[in-house]
């Protein structure tokens, strides 16, 4: 393509057994590490098969997409002290459990009617 630097050939470039071993190492080590990172960071794997132009286009499309997900620094500074969604969800669940227990204890007949209605309408 005339782009980049020509790298020396590696043994795995021409030996199917070594290429398979290299792939297994990628799958078992590198890819699993990427999956673990995915639990903490948002990222997408870019399709790197194809011509230089196709790969370049895929990278550009992914970078454009990632850029549109980022907040403006001024916006971020205004909201970064708010609780994270996971914290809000945990607190909401705690409140729900507390309210359900209280309602069940103090209004058992009405609570049972609500349960029966949920069973009829929702479940």
Query: Each residue of 76-112: pLDDT tens digit?
Result: 899 989 998 889 999 999 999 999 999 999 999 999 9
Tens-place pLDDT, residues 14-38: 889 998 998 898 888 888 888 888 8
DSSP 114: H
pLDDT for the residue numbered 49? 79
Task: Give tens-digit pLDDT for 34-83.
Answer: 888 888 887 787 888 778 889 899 999 988 888 877 888 899 899 989 99
Q: How many degrees, rounded to 5, is the angle at CA 119 between CA 106 and CA 107? A: 5
Q: Nearest 5 degrees, angle CA 51-CA 54-CA 55?
A: 85
Encoded tokens for 88: 């809000």
Would the pLDDT of 1 be above 90?
Answer: no
pLDDT the model gives residue 8: 86
What is the C-alpha to C-alpha distance for residues 41 and 103, in angstroms, rounded to an integer? 40
pTM: 0.38
Distance between CA 37 and CA 57 in Å, rounded? Answer: 24
> Which region holds residue 37: left if phi is over 0, alpha if psi is between -120 and 50, else beta?
alpha
The angle at the Cα of 109, spanning 106 to 114, to the nearest 5 degrees, equals: 100
């Amino acid at each position: 393509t005339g782009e980049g630097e020509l790298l020396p050939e590696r043994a795995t470039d021409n030996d199917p057994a070594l290429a398979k071993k290299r792939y297994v190492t990628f799958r078992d080590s590198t890819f699993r590490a990427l999956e673990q990172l995915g639990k903490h960071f948002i990222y997408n794997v870019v399709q790197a098969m194809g011509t230089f132009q196709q790969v370049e286009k895929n990278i550009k499309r992914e970078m454009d997409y990632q850029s549109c997900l980022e907040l403006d620094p001024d916006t971020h500074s205004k909201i970064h002290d708010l609780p994270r969604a996971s914290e809000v969800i945990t607190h909401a669940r705690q409140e729900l459990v507390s309210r359900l227990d209280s309602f069940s204890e103090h209004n058992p007949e009405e609570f049972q009617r609500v349960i029966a209605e949920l069973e009829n309408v929702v479940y």
